[in-house]
């Protein structure tokens, strides 16, 4: 089982860095400064936790609305925490210490962020199995990119046994939700024969006004 694969990403190379899409809170241009610093000593305060969750989701959505991917999201979070004179490690620890909180359990974006941190070893010890579990939680909530992420874990054996057919099924589900990355990964499966018989194709994309995805066979 391989643990060293990179996550998928850009449209030019779908298997270099994992993309992300926002699904909560919309995008919002915000300017943060030291007056907004969160007192993490109040870690048992639901208001503090809610604020952390909202800010992370806002940052996540701002980046994904610009079609930026997880490296950009992580950079945005780190920059935001620096402006607040906080350490990202403390924020991740706060989330992990409150995993039983329903506001974390039911937030697919937070699950994606935690999964990525575990998978890459960012602000927390690398653990591919825990990365898989958090991607799975996000996917179970119906997050289209979480489903694609889960497929990537199955394809490359990240925290789970390699099962390319399950990867194909995940990509297909994501594509059926009109997620452009799910469509891209599904197209790569058809092109390269991943989880099914290889089918020559020239292109695959979304027809946005019809909310359909199509593949042009070669």
Report yes or no: 14 and 148 within 8 Å, Cβ to Cβ.
no
From first to last of its 218 residues, what are the pLDDT tens digits of the chain? Answer: 544 454 543 333 333 334 444 443 333 333 233 334 455 544 457 888 999 999 999 999 898 777 676 788 899 999 999 998 999 999 999 999 999 999 999 999 999 999 999 999 999 999 999 999 999 999 999 998 899 999 999 999 999 999 999 999 999 999 888 777 788 888 888 888 888 877 666 555 544 444 455 554 44
Q: Is 218 exposed, middle or buried (0-12, 13-18, 19+ CB in 10 A)?
A: exposed
Question: Distance between CA atoms of 115 and 141, rounded to whole angstroms?
Answer: 14
Question: Distance between CA atoms of 119 and 133, rounded to whole angstroms?
Answer: 11
Instruction: Using the structure block, give the residue that is written with the tokens 């799910």.
Output: 182
Question: Distance between CA atoms of 8 and 158, rounded to whole angstroms?
Answer: 12
Report yes or no: 103 and 73 within 8 Å, Cβ to Cβ.
no
Question: Distance between CA atoms of 97 and 32, rounded to whole angstroms?
Answer: 25
Q: Identify the CATH class of 34-217.
A: mainly alpha
The domain ranges of the chain are: 34-217
* H-helix segments, 14-69: 46-65
């Amino acid at each position: 089982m391989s643990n060293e694969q990179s996550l998928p990403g850009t449209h030019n190379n779908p298997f270099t860095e994992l993309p992300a899409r926002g699904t909560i809170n919309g995008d919002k241009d915000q300017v943060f400064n030291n007056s907004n610093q969160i007192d993490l000593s109040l870690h048992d305060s639901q208001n503090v936790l809610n604020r952390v969750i909202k800010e992370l989701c806002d940052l996540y959505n701002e980046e994904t609305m610009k079609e930026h991917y997880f490296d950009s999201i992580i950079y945005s979070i780190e920059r935001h925490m620096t402006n607040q004179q906080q350490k990202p490690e403390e924020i991740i620890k706060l989330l992990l210490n409150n995993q039983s909180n329903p506001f974390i359990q039911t937030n697919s974006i937070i699950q994606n962020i935690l999964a990525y941190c575990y998978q890459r070893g960012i602000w927390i010890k690398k653990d591919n199995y825990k990365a898989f579990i958090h991607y799975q939680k996000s996917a179970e909530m119906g997050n289209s990119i979480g489903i694609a992420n889960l497929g990537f874990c199955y394809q490359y054996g990240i925290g789970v046994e390699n099962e390319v057919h399950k990867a194909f099924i995940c990509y297909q589900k994501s594509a059926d939700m009109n997620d452009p990355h799910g469509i891209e990964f599904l197209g790569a499966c058809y092109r390269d024969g991943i989880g099914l018989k290889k089918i020559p194709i020239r292109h695959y994309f979304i027809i946005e006004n019809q909310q359909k995805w199509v593949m042009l066979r070669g």
